Structure 1
């Protein structure tokens, strides 16, 4: 059964803030839910926006304070200067969001999807991360070798596949309007084979709305990504969620993260799901965030 237009619309924020990053970049931040509820911070992935977390915001904001923000160059956050695309910039932006949206010392569960998960890894050793993060969720992400291990191109692993994958992901070609063909391409590359048409359409609208300069600039950063050291710095209880049919960050990345994390508290392998797990399996992702809140944030509050 198709969702109503009202249910499909992105949630309206209770309040909006602007965080100012280390280089002066202005980051769009949305607050949902009660101010005095347990806090959850959501960081979206490459070519997405706060709209990507719509299902989690609807679910969690009933009894959580949900903080979602647009990564630089995405959604309502302006494009960065040419030199402003790096994992250090991602960490700077997250620190700015935490400082702006949370009171000093307030703890939160941080969840990142894809590039958002990489943001958590990049920021793991930062002071604001240590001050505010009580637990984390890494969702459909990886820390290195993203191009080499991608399965988007159906060839054997090797230099040829790597070159073709790099050229596809970093292509400067405009995505254009959402069409039946573009939805089929997006579904193949980023979603599980059983994804419902309305979920494919939802992801297509979000991805196609990403400005081309941001898409290309961040693709170059991701192609050279090496955050293995950041994984080892992620010393809060951390859960990992990934789809078994993910072509962009195959399940091997999730298993490697679970093995390398200092305190991994669970690896959820979602059978048949692709890269867009918060949209494809919203109940599973929201449920894991709730479990982290209950296990770590509420216990922290009781201890204070």
Structure 2
């Protein structure tokens, strides 16, 4: 099978995607194929990273560099993103997201191996959508919901500073759901992307790398997933996400403001802590990969024997209740 390669990324240094140890094609329940990558040493604690809307495995490059020396990292391109082919009109749904994650867990983890699963933005929605899947219950030791929400995303968003919720919802929904082409990466497009998705301190190299990733997403795929996100309601699934789950937000996130994270932390059955990163926007794993990686390492340390595939009693550890740990 010939895989479509993403457009050339404007990325160097820590933003350049590292070379995978191996690559494979994961087959989902409806036959869709997903590009997946493995990084890090065999036998190390496993971490599965699930990217968000308009992104790809390249989004996780700085986090992979932080973790790959002593973790086994699994990455995959969500359907239609990166090197995972687009699907037909009926193939875009939260059910499909859950199917895809279930397939990745089944086909990339060794027998008995359990992973810490991290979802950013739409990747976090993927985790919530999969709350009832046996593959998540059996193969995930803990989870991290990063820069995400369960419902009312356009109503709570702060991209357009309008007071009236109904008008704000309509305008933000129209902007984010547009199928208009992004066009080439230009100084203006980078300024707009920074405003929408990042905190004020994001440096030019970060903005350029992020623009290269986002602009590579096909506009039809972008619009199809925007419709799903615009109608999202996973509130019931949050209450069924029974594994220890941490939540992370950026205080300057305009797409999923911190109120989403606080709501998630309050409703999760086994909240493993709430971290708010001061001044960061929606792209926290790119903006401060070290801070995000520390949260992942904490989950691995608490539930590490499970992540490495050893059978241990799940007592809740440090994860019961809600905590808030502002980090810079």
CA contact (8 A) 1:135 1:297 kept: no
Partner residue, 1:89: 96
TM-score of the two chains, using structure 1 as the length reference? 0.96
CA contact (8 A) 2:66 2:289 kept: no
Q: Which runs of 5 or more residues in structure 2 are unaligned?
A: 1-10, 313-328
Corresponding residue to 1:119 among 113, 126, 131: 126
Q: Distance in 2 between matches of 1:236 and 1:190?
A: 29
Q: Distance in 1 between matches of 2:132 and 2:311?
A: 24
- What is the CA-CA distance between 1:196 and the residue it aligns to? 1.1
Q: Which runs of 5 or more residues in structure 1 are unaligned?
A: none
Partner residue, 2:285: 278
1:295 partnered with 2:323: no
- What is the CA-CA distance between 1:5 and the residue it aligns to? 3.5
Partner residue, 1:79: 86
1:204 partnered with 2:220: no
Residue 233 of structure 1: SS of its match in structure 2? coil
Partner residue, 2:77: 70
Q: Distance in 1 between matches of 2:152 and 2:202?
A: 26
More displaced stretch, 8-17 vs 133-142: 8-17
Partner residue, 1:56: 63
Q: Distance in 2 between matches of 1:197 and 1:69?
A: 26
- What is the CA-CA distance between 1:281 and the residue it aligns to? 1.1
1:41 partnered with 2:48: yes
What RMSD over aligned residues (CA atoms) do the two structures have, in Å? Answer: 1.3
Corresponding residue to 2:242 among 232, 235, 247: 235
> CA, structure 1 residues 303+104, in 2 after alignment: closer, same or farther (shift >3 Å)?
closer
Partner residue, 2:232: 225
- What is the CA-CA distance between 1:159 and the residue it aligns to? 1.4
More displaced stretch, 136-145 vs 291-300: 291-300
Q: Distance in 2 between matches of 1:145 and 1:52?
A: 25
Q: Distance in 2 between matches of 1:262 and 1:143?
A: 15
CA contact (8 A) 1:124 1:234 kept: yes
Task: Give a deviation string over 1:57-87, Cα, whole Å, max 9, x none.
Answer: 1111101100000000000000011100000
Task: Give a deviation string over 1:190-235, Cα, whole Å, max 9, x none.
Answer: 1111111111111111101111111000000000000111111111
Task: Give 4+ residue runs of structure 1 displaced > 3 Å after superposition.
Answer: 4-8, 299-304
| Count of aligned residue pairs for this structure pair | 301
Partner residue, 2:223: 216
CA contact (8 A) 1:149 1:157 kept: no
Alignment of 1:88-107 (within 5 A): 88-107=95-114
Alignment of 1:240-251 (within 5 A): 240-251=247-258
CA contact (8 A) 2:14 2:61 kept: no
Corresponding residue to 1:180 among 159, 170, 187: 187
CA contact (8 A) 1:148 1:157 kept: no
Partner residue, 1:13: 20
